[in-house]
Structure 1
Amino acid sequence: MTILYIGTTVVLVAIIYAQYQMSRTRTKHLREIHNKLHRIVNQSSDEVILLFTDDKELIDITVDLNRLLEKHKKALANYTNTKWSMKKMISNISHDLKTPLTVTLGYVEMIQMDSELDSEERHLILTKIHDKSVEVITLIDKFFNLAKLESGDKEVPLTSIRINDICRKSLLEYYDIFNKKGIDVHIDIPDKPIYVLGNIEALKRILTNLISNAIVHGGDGKMIGLKIRINEDDIYIDVWDKGKGIDEPYQDRVFERLYTLEDSRNKSYQGSGLGLTITKRLVEKLGGTIQINSKPWQKTVFSFSLKRSNEQN
């Protein structure tokens, strides 16, 4: 009986000692985790928490903490990028607003200071003032449209739409400009009706942005085209030109908010940097994607996809 009592006591003491050692080890590891986490957060470090232990619970905690740190790092990077973009946005829009407003002010001063202007000269100046005012309004409109799209405040209801007619009409609106600039237009639109899931207003805006972009930045190539491609589930609309194009390192960035390629050799792409961003957001609202493929002076293609629809309205 005495031996049994002694044996039981020894076992209990051993268990208590083992638990004590485990508790000490766990406390030590928790302290290590806390110190590393404190250092990573305070120093904005990219480190991860490394812990050598067989304790499953501590391993799970460490894994989850590292996931949380990774999310924190991504959130911080997104915040930094957004902050930089906002500064750039303010700078770009301020510049783009200031330029036409300064010109407009100059025209107004001309009218005020020169009382001998004849009616023809006065009409010419007033026309220029009107054009510059429209330019400012258009820029402000683009900014607010993008803000609505990115905030989710702008609803884009989807219906079944015959895309053939919208593409033809969008090109037809630029008929006079094509003639004036001597641009050949190539149209590859099937005669068979093609229905997509879309929004008429959004599609017109997308096509207008892409066609005007091709005229402004690819018109030197004297050739612009629009093509509709079809597969089982989607249709693709290509708007292309044979102008100066965009160098490959910059192609992935042209849809970024307020990216204007000012660091590239193609200075003609500078501006507010809103048009293609709005285009991308609208395409995404329609459930599609958009991409660019450009070989300068050979062919630059902006291609976006839309979901096919069998329903005919």
Structure 2
Amino acid sequence: MILIIGMLVLIIILVALLIYLVIAQLDLRTITNQLHFINHHTTNQQIRVHSRHHEIVALTQEIDTLLNQHQAVLSQSVKSKNQLDLAIHNISHDLRTPLTVASGYAQLLKTNSSLSDDAHQQVLKLDHNLALLTKHLDLLLLYNRLIENRITITPTPVNVSARLQEACLNVYDALQQRDLALNLDIQPQLTWSLDEEAMTRIFQNILGNILDHASKKATITLKQIDDTLELTAANQLATPIKDANRLIDRFYTEDLSHQKQNAGLGLYIISELTQLQHGTVSVTTHDLEFELKLQFKRTN
């Protein structure tokens, strides 16, 4: 009799323990499902379970605390980004007028024959620095249009070969001043459905990147591979790249040519304008070699 009672007590304990474990498992499944939803949606939702298990309740409270901290950090990050973007917008537009006026005066001074040689050299240096500032300001204005989604892409048949050759010709003097040898391998008469203004900006930034960072020589290749238009820009560097994975990040820059003239937006803008046209961008580096590759699939 005692043995039977003992067996019954053991069975009751095992059943109770099994029920406890099943309920705990259901609570954990509820928590897991809610976390899955939170991780895949923009929401301020917190974990809610109706459980009498002290450990489950404690776990839920700790998760909610972590979620609140994460939400606070995310909110502050978004706020800081919006403040930065607004500051860039205001500063870039405020600088446009005085910079244009200063550039105009510099142009007038360049034609003043009464200036001494030393003064004339100072004016040339001033004009160069103003041109550099104008270039960076243009990048900021374009960046601002990108983040505000004010870039309209209008695909039309573009003779990419001709546009690229024109862009290269426009920087011929700058290449000579930097003593850079630019080799062109451009397949002729390649016409693609792209946005002409966006492609012009892409070419300008690719060439600007070469002028800022290339050492001795660079190569630009344009060709069609099946249904893909491929543009490759490769150049030597004066120093190795430290973090190739961050090169396309906005405002990230490395002093690769010891000139310190880069705003850290050129590759970012190239990437954004390429993706807006459903193209892809890849950057590869090896020792003192840098390669930027853009690909555009032909659309039907």
> How far off its partner does 1:244 sit?
2.6
Secondary structure at 1:290 match in 2: strand
CA distance in structure 1 between the partners assigned to 2:40 and 2:260 by the alignment = 36
Is residue 116 of structure 2 the alignment partner of residue 144 of structure 1?
no
Secondary structure at 2:116 match in 1: helix
Secondary structure at 2:24 match in 1: coil
8 Å Cα contact 1:197/1:306 also seen in 2 = no
CA distance in structure 2 between the partners assigned to 1:80 and 1:294 by the alignment = 35
Is residue 207 of structure 2 the alignment partner of residue 207 of structure 1?
no
CA distance in structure 1 between the partners assigned to 2:270 and 2:156 by the alignment = 19
CA distance in structure 1 between the partners assigned to 2:259 and 2:127 by the alignment = 24
How many residue pairs match? The answer is 237
The correspondence for 1:165, drawn from 162, 166, 169, is 162
CA distance in structure 2 between the partners assigned to 1:138 and 1:165 by the alignment = 23
> How far off its partner does 1:303 sit?
0.8
CA distance in structure 2 between the partners assigned to 1:60 and 1:231 by the alignment = 52
TM-score by length of 1: 0.61
8 Å Cα contact 1:246/1:296 also seen in 2 = yes
The correspondence for 2:283, drawn from 276, 279, 292, is 292
Secondary structure at 1:255 match in 2: coil
CA distance in structure 1 between the partners assigned to 2:257 and 2:238 by the alignment = 8
Alignment-mate amino acid for residue 207 of structure 1: F
Residue of structure 2 in register with 1:198 after alignment: 194
Is residue 295 of structure 2 the alignment partner of residue 302 of structure 1?
no
Give the aligned CA root-mean-square deviation in angstroms. Answer: 4.1
Question: Aligned ranges for residues 218-229 of structure 1 at < 5 Å?
Answer: 218=214, 220=215, 222-229=216-223
Extract unaligned runs of 5+ from structure 2: 1-15, 43-66
TM-score by length of 2: 0.63
CA distance in structure 2 between the partners assigned to 1:144 and 1:270 by the alignment = 17
The structure-2 alpha-carbon separation of the partners of 1:168 and 1:138, relative to structure 1 and needing over 3 Å to count, comes to: closer
Extract unaligned runs of 5+ from structure 1: 1-20, 30-50, 112-117
Structure of greater relative contact order (alpha carbons < 8 Å, 6+ residues apart): 1
> How far off its partner does 1:147 sit?
1.4
Secondary structure at 2:285 match in 1: strand
The structure-2 alpha-carbon separation of the partners of 1:78 and 1:145, relative to structure 1 and needing over 3 Å to count, comes to: farther
Residue of structure 2 in register with 1:68 after alignment: 38
Alignment-mate amino acid for residue 210 of structure 1: I
8 Å Cα contact 1:260/1:270 also seen in 2 = no
- Note the alpha carbon deviations across 1:250-306, whole angstroms, 9 max, x for none: 1111111111237xx876566421222111111111111112112233x31111112
- Note the alpha carbon deviations across 1:74-114, whole angstroms, 9 max, x for none: 877766666677798879x99xx9xxx9xx9xxx9xx9xxx
8 Å Cα contact 1:150/1:281 also seen in 2 = no
CA distance in structure 2 between the partners assigned to 1:246 and 1:87 by the alignment = 34
8 Å Cα contact 1:242/1:296 also seen in 2 = no
8 Å Cα contact 1:160/1:309 also seen in 2 = no
- Note the alpha carbon deviations across 1:162-221, whole angstroms, 9 max, x for none: 211112112122222333443333221223x32222111111111111112112211x2x
CA distance in structure 1 between the partners assigned to 2:123 and 2:173 by the alignment = 24
The correspondence for 2:212, drawn from 206, 213, 216, is 216
Is residue 254 of structure 2 the alignment partner of residue 261 of structure 1?
yes
The structure-2 alpha-carbon separation of the partners of 1:202 and 1:178, relative to structure 1 and needing over 3 Å to count, comes to: same
8 Å Cα contact 2:167/2:200 also seen in 1 = yes
CA distance in structure 2 between the partners assigned to 1:257 and 1:54 by the alignment = 46
The correspondence for 2:238, drawn from 233, 244, 251, is 244
8 Å Cα contact 2:283/2:291 also seen in 1 = yes
